[in-house]
Amino acid sequence: MRTTSWICVVFLVGAGGVLTCGCGGGGGGGGGGPEASVFAGTYYLTHIEVTAGPPRELTAGWGKSTADGFGGFTADVTRNSSGDVTGPHSITGYVTTVAPDRTLTWQTALSPGVDVAVGGVSANGGIAALGWVEEDADPGILILTRQQGSFGLASLDGEYHTCGLRYVLGLDRIDSYFGTAAFDGAGGGAALDVINREGIVLPPLGTATFTYSLTASGSTTLDFGGGKRWKGGTLAGGDLVVVAGATTDLLSPMLYAMVRESAAASLATLSGRYFVVGLRYVVGGPSFLSVHGTAVANGAGAVTVTLTSNNEGTISDQAPDASTYAVAPDGSLHVTNAAGDVLTGGVSSAGDFAILSGGTGLGQDPMFLFLLR
């Protein structure tokens, strides 16, 4: 029997009035691992997941979480589930473990030994990303950026690469987005995105203007008007923004990520071993799957991607894919897999993280990927 992910379990139980604080068992204990202290602090949390249906239901969530560096994890999350916005909801009862290679694993206090989500954490603990891996659980991913540094409107300035995934209410349709955005450093901006509409690639429908705000701690809001508002966080330095929404009832759920453009990126910028998480809609299925795994880039245009997929509750290992990639000086990243499908996005100037979306060709599946070194 299918189960919902950790966030949906909490929401459904809480809404029913049976429990009010997640999965029980407190905020941790028994987890950790040899590198647990790297995953510590307050994090801005964004996630996206799918209930297969019919009808399909896509949930986007946003909020704040705390990792104590000893395996404990708590969060307060608001979610948009196919236009129904609820929360914030308290999440407790999860145990995190960090392996020596920085693989990050989550389990519940109620089911020790059963992995709920697997992914990775950056070397400095500033970013973490996970994909749902529990058998019979819905596919989904989670991205966390640590709250650190001081921010103002000028923290976001200049050009960014953009990627996203959206469920269109009323049309039961999945769109992926990829393009660019510009911040003016004073609270205004504009985005220009290509859309993959379930395998049909559409040119930009016009520039979408927005306003933005940041709190001193990096909490970030993008407002496109008409209630189309997304919330999330900005990484220290302003090189990464991840938001989710919409925060208004009856508007479509979406996850949207932005990576600041570089000045002198090259193939060598994408180099080393990356953790990968992502969500994909298989047009020919039709079905949804989330993925987690690794990508090893050689710094010269070749990358081997090894993933485990959650195809609507069925967990399976995919064969390694020998892909190729190209990097432009501004950090634009294009990855072509062995089947010829192309994803596009951007890599950070230091090469520590990247975003990808697509596919960019006719008949290619809509998807979103996040890479973390």
- DSSP secondary-structure letter at 137? B
Non-local CB neighbours of 24 within 8 Å, separated by 6+ positions: 92, 93, 109, 110
The model's pTM: 0.91
Contacts of 255 (CB under 8 A, 6+ apart): 46, 47, 48, 60, 143, 164, 165, 166, 242, 243, 244, 368
Give dist(CA 183, CA 151) in Å, integer. Answer: 14
Which homologous superfamily does the CATH classification assign to the domain defined by 6-145? Quinohemoprotein amine dehydrogenase alpha subunit, domain 2 (2.40.128.120)
What is the model's pLDDT at position 32? Answer: 66
Which DSSP string do the residues of 29-96 spell out, in sequence order?
-S-B-TTGGGSEEEEEEEEEEEE--SSPEEEEEEEEEEEESSSEEEEEEEEEETTEEEEEEEEEEEEE
Fold agreement between 153-260 and 267-372: yes
C-alpha span between 373 and 358 (Å, rounded): 21
Question: How high is the pLDDT of residue 34?
Answer: 57
Instruction: Please give the pLDDT value at position 89.
Output: 93
Determine phi and psi for 369, rounding to 5 degrees.
-130, 145
Burial status of residue 297 (CB atoms within 10 A of its CB: 0-12, 13-18, 19 or more):
buried
Predicted pLDDT of residue 53:
67
pLDDT value at residue 184: 98
Handedness of CA 251, 257, 263, 266 (dihedral sign): negative
Name the fold adopted by 153-260.
Answer: Lipocalin (2.40.128)
Show pLDDT as tens, one digit a residue, over the chain (373 residues): 444 444 433 322 222 222 223 333 334 445 666 577 899 999 999 999 988 666 778 899 999 999 999 999 999 999 999 999 999 999 888 899 999 999 999 998 788 888 999 999 999 999 999 999 988 888 999 999 999 999 999 999 999 999 999 988 877 778 999 999 999 999 999 999 999 999 999 988 889 999 999 999 999 999 999 999 999 999 999 999 999 999 999 999 999 999 999 999 999 999 999 999 999 999 888 788 999 999 999 999 999 999 999 998 899 999 999 999 999 999 999 999 999 999 999 999 999 999 999 999 999 999 999 999 9
Joined together, the tokens standing for residue 335 give 């990855």
Q: What are the sequence ranges of the domains in the chain?
A: 6-145, 153-260, 267-372
Q: Which CATH superfamily is domain 267-372 in?
A: Quinohemoprotein amine dehydrogenase alpha subunit, domain 2 (2.40.128.120)
Cα dihedral 315, 50, 171, 55 sign: positive
